[in-house]
Copies of this chain bind each other. A is one copy, B any other.
């Protein structure tokens, strides 16, 4: 592969000092960054030189929680009580999902994520071979897991566990490391304790992290107390979940002691502020997590509860929400929001050695924003503008492992029109009440 260099850009490195390089450059070869610094005078050694004058170059975003197939249900049902939403709307339609539904729902999600600057995503769903194939084909990077719900007879539990393990073993490290996997008990309220233990044992065998929904709603926490006599964190701790590297989604309703436990085990959090608001789940204690050094990353959850996958919206939301909720405007500053969407996201998916910042030796996963737009002026503070003023719609170019996937806003690896047409076709086929 030839050496490529992007020059004359405003480079947000998101390195340890959040360094911004004006008139900066990044170069890469074989998918790996070989230079990050000022635009060099000597460019003869590069096979390709891309002029990014007046544009912002930054790490691709990492979306640490979602269910990509569910984009097929975007806007199908909003503004309903959670249980009614699940029981009368989501579950009856999801029960009809075939591989073809997941194929087009996930394709819709991938196009959307790519076009709004997400380069790495977490997916917890069913029919995951399809998701892995689409990830490979699209050029994205992902940490994938077959989410298993254990409210079923033992033989079905076993079948699901074997399916999840086979998927995880087969795909981990695929596509030059772009696809990695996890084991995923869906949640403490959907998996009996012994089933969670079996899944965790399998994660130990396969040496994989665990991903699980946790403490999303007060109802769920109370349910756990009723069923098991403990709140979810202590329950999962006792089941040994946190002895594996773990990424928990939501983590909205936590006590001080639970926060301390998460910090003690270095459990990673996927904070999904928009989904938590939309479903009326509540507001997570993010400032308290930050104070304890807990790794807080950002997730969109699915488009059914968001209703898009533009992680720039989460970045702005996390910077706004906790300031207002606590009436303290210094909480979650822009630099931390940016880190949550990039390097902390990389940590949350256990890839911080490879992605999440623009540093020599890391993978060339980066995005270019059209910062010529009015939202980015006066061009005083690019980090502020990226967090508070930008939209994923401002992303023009996307690269993963040095391969360009989006060019001037157009997705190169997916046929967007066909995806939209097929998503509508598959949605129309679902039987609605």
Q: Could you list which residues of chain A lie within 8 angstroms of chain B, going by C-beta atoms?
A: 72-76, 78-82, 85, 108, 111-112, 115, 218, 273-274, 276-283, 303, 306-308, 310, 313, 316, 319-321, 323-331, 333-334, 372, 374-375, 377-381, 384-385, 388-389, 391-394, 416, 419-420, 423-424, 427-428
Contacts and interface: CB of A to CB of B under 8 A. Distances in A.
Given A75-B380, A374-B419, 18 more contacts: A73-B378, A75-B381, A78-B381, A79-B319, A79-B333, A79-B334, A80-B329, A85-B329, A108-B377, A277-B320, A277-B321, A278-B324, A280-B328, A280-B331, A282-B327, A308-B375, A378-B427, A391-B392
A63 to B, nearest CB: 15
Contacts of A307: 384-385, 388-389
Nearest to A386: B75
Contacts of A303: 389
A209 to B, nearest CB: 28
A75 B388 contact: yes
B280 A75 contact: no
Contact of A276 (B308, B324, B372): B324
Nearest to A375: B308
Contacts of A385: 74-75, 307
Given A329-B80, A329-B81, A375-B112, A324 B424 contact: no
A308 B381 CA distance: 14
A206 to B, nearest CB: 34
A76 B329 contact: no
A284 B287 CA distance: 21
Contacts of A82: 329
A280 B380 contact: no
B420 A374 contact: yes
A290 to B, nearest CB: 13
A391 B391 contact: yes
4 A-B pairs closest in CB distance: A277-B324, A280-B329, A393-B393, A378-B427
A330 B81 contact: yes
A76 B427 contact: no
A283 B306 CA distance: 20
B333 A78 contact: yes
Contact of A388 (B80, B278, B319, B419): B278
Contact of A389 (B74, B281, B420): B74
